[in-house]
Amino acid sequence: MTRSSTQIAEDRMRAITSALAIFFILTSSFHFFRMLLPDVLGPQSHFVQTHLVHSPPLSSIRLPGGQLHIDESYPKRPVLIYGLHLLPGFLWLALAPFQFNYRLRNKQRALHRASGYVFFSLSALLALSGFTMIAVRFSYSHPDRWTLLFGLLPTFDVALTILGVLFAFPLVLALRGALKRNFDLHRLWVIVHVGVGLTIPYQRVFMYTQFSLSNILSRWAPDLFERVVGLPSEWARQHRTAIGERELAAFAITGYLGMLAASATTAFVLHPIMTSKRAKSV
């Protein structure tokens, strides 16, 4: 059976979101387990101090004071971060592949409609909680919003603001298309909406790649590490401010790399639809 251009696009997006969902859930579960270690082993235990608090530069997300961001910030607003953002994010990414399963949609329209209501509700909650995190200065971002690359690149807060707007705009258009029963337009904007939302899973790919490279280079090529990063390959108290600044900057840069990857993914997924439209217009 020949697939339409929209079905080809949906198959592409379903495969990509499925792979990223598995990666994101596994790494986030590891991250959560890592957060529990200080409570299980004790904050001063050798393992916690060596592998979490005093891990090599660019292998964690620390504040300029040397504290881990998750230890310093997460306990202050647990409802916002866990209940209104992290958990909805898990569910949103887990549901995303099913929104592009046209075989299931054709057989179970009521199920697709119900899951769509849940999916778009989660999207709205993620957008609102994300903007709230920016407003209360809760995200892992430098207080000076224009501090990267000599003031040319804004920090993670600005990236989140841009992402929030780009995330919400196609959501509204997708809902408008569904309400007007223009389902071709609806599916097009759902693809764009999910494509924008993939920024954060992609950011995690780049972030964990950075963590891995930092650990590998600091251990096996410390001289190269010091030349590239401009810091000793081992954590040192006198360098904790510089380490925190570098990690804040690196986190923001991985966010922008995530945006680029999400944009490229969206263009790749939409290519069959755009090609088909151009062919029909000739």
Return the structure tokens found at 2: 């020949």
Q: Which sequence spans correspond to the domains of the chain?
A: 5-274
pLDDT at 248 (0 to 100): 86
pLDDT at 171 (0 to 100): 95
Whether this model's pTM surpasses 0.85 = yes
Compute the distance between CA of residue 64 and CA of residue 204 in angstroms, rounded to an integer: 21
pLDDT average, residue stretch 206-222: 92
**Confidence class of residue 176 from pLDDT cuts 50, 70 and 90?**
very high
pLDDT at 81 (0 to 100): 85
Query: Which residue, chain included where needed, has tokens 């647990």?
Result: 78
CB 174, CB 190: distance < 8 Å: yes
Burial of residue 254 (number of CB atoms within 10 Å: 0-12, 13-18, 19+):
buried
Compute the distance between CA of residue 154 and CA of residue 148 in angstroms, rounded to an integer: 6
pLDDT at 75 (0 to 100): 75
**Confidence class of residue 213 from pLDDT cuts 50, 70 and 90?**
very high
What is the share, in percent, of the chain residues with pLDDT greater than 90?
Answer: 43
Query: Which residue, chain included where needed, has tokens 């997924």?
Result: 269
pLDDT tens profile 108-152: 888 988 999 999 999 999 999 999 988 887 888 776 655 555 555
pLDDT tens profile 39-54: 666 666 666 666 667 7
DSSP letter for 43, please: T
| SS3 of residue 66 by DSSP | coil
Closest C-alpha among 1, 4, 2, 3 to residue 280: 4
